[in-house]
Each structure stands twice: as structure tokens, then as C-alpha cells.
Structure 1
Amino acid sequence: MSSQLTETIPSNVQTAILEEAVYLNPDVVRIRLRLKSGNGRLIYSAGQYLALHILESQFRCYSMVHDYEPDKPLELHVRLYPGGLFSEWIRQRANSKLLSSNIPVELRLSGPYGQCIWKSPCLPGATTVMLATGTGIAPIWALLEQALPTSSGHVILYWGGQVPQDLYHSGPLRGLEKAFPHFHFVPVMRDPIPGWTGRVGTVEQCAASDHPELRQSRVYACGSPSMVQAAAALLIKNCGLDEDHFHADPFEHPVSSQKAPSEDPTLNLFVRTPQGREEKVHARTGISLMTALSESGHTQGICGGRAACGNCRVKLGNHRALLLVEQTKSERRLLASFEDALPEHRLSCQIALTRELDELRVEISTPSL
């Protein structure tokens, strides 16, 4: 890895000890982390996520499985991918004696990130719909733990998989059904399989079929970005769901920040770092400002450029630029959640570089959600 990327690790990184790594099914491992003594606490809301930093510029994002409790370990569900950098690291430690040795296994983490947190129902008694695929059940479980004891309306969860063993948390969900009569769990298989008598299709299709009228409802979607995108499009268009009532943090693993050969025109950026230095950066047009800042070692988009984490927030120094680049609704909502929000703040992942932004002045902001 290039040493110039060391500065892209967020400033709020803490060290944690890996206490447990246990298989929940052949492809998912539950890990439990405890912050190292002297690191303070990671205070978060149910539904948020953190980033595990593996190497200088490599990280993976995972949602917390439980609502925040002081002095309790952080629990994450990790899907394993063949040949994956972090997947192979976890495979070596899952159910092994490495964790019982006297040598602590340390990981670096940052966060919390995300805005997919519980909101009060639009009306008393209104139905809440939850959608999950794969390990997207992790933040959904945290939200359920927080909401079910006090919510009055019906809460319906659709969790989808390819085979029944993908739904590795079904037992506890059935337990929630018994404890809270207003909660209902609907398991869904993507395609018909022998012996399956439950619902078949995508979770968003099942939800749209069961709830054709969602004008007074909220929807929470956690899982693959393709599911989140499809669910938003379908439920907003066909079921009348208000765009502001669709809650999701569809983060993706970022692509490599290696510069690709390009004949696109270039422009100049003037970047002021948190340390007060001003640096000139040459960037090509047609990419996002976040990509340009990542390639030059100045920032890192935790959510993969989906306006979900706020880690790429910058302050624009040219007032002309504020007029050139229109904000999306999701960007406005996330920026407003910062305690030190300013009109000049923007998410660099939402700014496409054009020739009109030549000589743009940018100040790197440190996260302070």
C-alpha cells in the first residue's frame, strides 16, 4: 500500500480487542469486540454502523447488532467472501484457539456512521415495514430491540435469502413474535426451492403486495444496495411511500483509489488539511470530488459515496461553487445532523468535478456527528 494513504484513516479511530468469532452459518461469523482500555466509549444509536480498518487504506463496514449499552461488547455479523481480505483474516480466527491465547487480537475501528435510526411513526398506530437481506438483519435487530417495547403500531419484517440457512437469526425473531404481538416476521426465499412453503420473491415485492398503501408508514431497508435501491423505487412509486420516510444506509465497499489512466481534462483543487496546510491537487474531470481527494490521500468515503456516512464532508471556500452544485435531499439531511453544520459544508461524494470547478478551494472537515 502507498504510504501517502495513511492520512486517509479517519481521526476518530479507536483500538478494540477481538473477544469472539463464532460461525452462525457457513458464510456468516459473529464477532464481538471490546474497546481497549483507555480508548473511551463508542456511543451510537441502533441502526448505525462502524468501519473496521484492516490496512492503511483498507476498511470494511458493519452494523452493530444491538442497541448501545455501556460496558457491553460490540457485536457484528460478518459475511465471508472467498478470497476476501478481511474474510480470510476472520476465517483463521473463527472457532479457533487463537482468541484464547494470552496475546490479544487487536482491530482498529471508527464510527459511528449512518442515519438509518428509529423514527417515531408518522401517526400513532401506523404500520412500520422493515426489509432485510443477508447480514442486513444486524441493524434491523438493533432497531427492533429499541422500538418494540414502546411502539404501538404493527411492525412487519421481511427477511430474504437464497436458502433457509441464510436466515440464521430466525429463532430469535420468532421469539420476538411471541413476546410482542404487534411484531410479525415474514421469511422470504428469492426463488422456489424444494420443501419451502413460505413466501417467494424479493422482500420489496412481498412488502408491496401486502402493503399497497404506505402513505402514513415508515420503511427501513438494510442489506444489499440493489435491494435498497429497488425497494425505494417500488414502494415510493407504487405504494405512495413518502421519500423522507424511507430509511436506509446502503454502504458499499469502496473501490480501489488507484488512479486510472485518463485523457479527461484536468483541473486544480486547493485543499486545506485539518492541520492547516494548503496543498494543490491535480484532478481529472468526470469523477467525484471525494474520489479526487481519496486519490490524493486526503479523505476516505466510508459508505462508498452514497451520502450515508458523512466522512467525506468538506467546506467549500468558493461561494460560486455552492451555486454550481445542487444538493440532494439525502445530502441535506445528513449534513444537518452535524453539530457544527455550516451552509458551506458539502459531501464531496456528491460533487462531480467539471471544468467550471477549476481552482475550487476545499477545506477538509473532521467528523463530529
Structure 2
Amino acid sequence: MSERLGPYELLSRLGSGGFGAVHLALDPEGRTVAVKVLHPHVAADGVALSRLAREVETMRMVGGPHVAEVLDASLEGDKPYLVTRYVQGRPLSAVPVPVSDLRQLASGLADALLAMHESGVVHRDLKPANVMMTEGAPVVIDFGIASALDSLSVTASGAVVGTPGYLAPEVLEGRAAGMEADVFSFGATLAYAATGRQPYGQGPASAIAYRVVHHPPDLEGVPEWLEPLLRECLATDPAARPTADRICARLGVAPVSHAPRTAAPVVRPRSAADDLSTREWQPGKERHGRSVEESRARHREKVRRRWLIGSGLFVSLLAAAAREPLPEVSLFLLAAYALGWVSDAGVALFSRRPHRRGRVIADLVSVAGSVGLAFGLAAVFSTFTLALFAGTALVVGIVFLVSA
């Protein structure tokens, strides 16, 4: 059974970091969002929460295709939380490196850096784990949180504010740090993406921090068009590093309007009568809200169609493989498959569900296609080859189900 937190329905836990656990959730209009529930030791730090509350409105001003926007927040009660756009993908730290399209990654990160700095937000913890890759494009997450929660009590409780190797020298030395520190992290993150290696090596955190302060980065293998820029970004002196707009100009990133979004008050106690600010958010090209039940119905239909196509392909392979040695089995498989989905089409035809005509057509087309495919495969391939294909499809299907 799903858990509710304020107006959000928590569906599944996505992961956990130094400051909180992230959950996939549905907002009141049925849209997917990411809810970060702060850890108890962070929630117990009144100073840290006060700083975060002051920063949330500024963080919510950051927008653009390459940042996961802050949509809502509730920093009161036993479980304070932040709500951001849900980004489906894998972190840069978990994808194969060097990345295949380094220019797209560099341009996207530069645009995200500019969006944050134009709004006055310092990320403070930019690193591969905080860069989500979705269809080759980067989206920066968790911006502003580390900077806002950088207090002695939070750090002493076990949360590391930043990651050695991606933290700027001035941060490691305890000096004042601003947007220039993000530029350093940007350079280190791109260096990792370009070479597949940590720019300051591996080992104990203290050893990595020493190299950051006293040694140049390892940029061997970085393309010529990018290496000079990264060396400037990774300069020990913050004043020698380029600004975000200069980085965009060097990379040829076209200026994008990062105009502040309308920011209604979001840090507040919850009540049923609240007019939630998340209702203003319209992800992608979606221009209408859906209820939770409507979203679930759409998800069920998507899963049903996947089963329709997958089962059709598998039955076609089995029927084609059995046609020569066991023709009765082949006919039985096709008949059973056809009967099952024709029945489903009949149920849909007399139901009152929306888009039932499309469901009926999909069922009938799948049945006809599977029968035709079975006869076509049997005419082209040998029984052994088809049996091998069917076995491979079965193994792949099992692995897919287990991984899902």
C-alpha cells in the first residue's frame, strides 16, 4: 500500500543521499514527481532548516530543460521534504564513460550552470551522481541543497557536504566559496565524462583533497576542443575560472531564457484547502491535469499493450518452431492466443472505457499479425533456428521481468 506525505502519494523509493531519501510520487493531479524526504538528523537541525527555507524560493526560480526544477516544499512537521521534477534516466556516474556525445553533455551542463547562477543559486555539490542522463541529455538535480544545509550540526551528523575530487580547493580549505566553486565542479564532472577517470585520482578522501589543492588535474584523453576550457575551470585560483556565461559562449551554447517562474509561497504547513503551487507546473507538452486514477489507467493500458506485442511475438516463434514436428501444438498455440485477445477485444467493445475502439483494433491487428508472422517464419527459417530464437526470447523476457 502506498504512503501519503502531505498531498503526495509516494509510490517507490528511488535512492538515498547524504541529506534525504528520494521517492517517486504522484502529485494531486496524477503527475510524477520526485519527493526528497530529509533524514531525521537533518530535520532535527533547526538552523539548517531555516537556511533551507530561505533558499527554497530562490531555488524555485531556477528553470530550464537541464535542471530538475524545485516545485514545492514543506519544511515543517516530522518529515520535511522537497518536491522536484522527476527525471527518468540514470546518473552520469552509472552510464558508460567516456560518454558518446560529449558536446551535448557539455552544452547541457553549461546551460544548467547558467540557469542556476542567473538565479543566484550555487549548487555546491555538482558531480556525476547529481547529473541525470535522459536520452543523452543531462539534467542537474539537487541544486542548492548542499549550500543551504552546510551547517556544522548537519555535517557532524554524517552528511558530507560535497564530494572530494569535485569540490573546489577553496571549499576544501574552508575559505569563502561562491559560483566559482560550481565552475570547478563543472570542469571536474566533464573531465570524468570525457576520460572515464576521476580527474584527481582515487583513494582516501584526504589524499584526493590534497591533490585538488596542490596538483594539476589528469586531463589526458580530453578532446582538444575541450581541454583548454577544462584547465581554466579547474584553476586553483577562483578568480581565474570563467563565468557560466563565458563557458556557454566558448561552447557555442545559444542563449536560452531562464526567466524566473511565478513563485507562489511553497514553504508552509499543509491543509486540505491549500491551493498547491505544483498545479502551476506542466511538464513537457502536457497541458492538462489528470487524476491519480486516470494516470493509473493510462499506465495499465501501456503495460497491456506491451504484453500484447510481446506475447504475440513469442507465440509466433513457438508456433512456427512447432509447425513441422508438431502441427497440432502449433495450431493450438495460435488458437489459444487468438481466443484470449479476441475475448479481450469483446470485453473492451462493450465496456464504457475511453479509447475502447483503439483497444479493439489493437487486439485484432495483433492476432492477425501473430498468425501471419508464424506462417512467415515457418516458411523462411528451419525448426532448429526457430527453437533457438524462441529459447533466447524466453530467457530475455525472464531477465527483463526480473530486472524490472
* TM-score, normalised with respect to structure 2: 0.27
Larger Rg: 2
The answer to which structure has the higher strand fraction is: 1
* TM-score, normalised with respect to structure 1: 0.29
The answer to which structure has the higher helix fraction is: 2
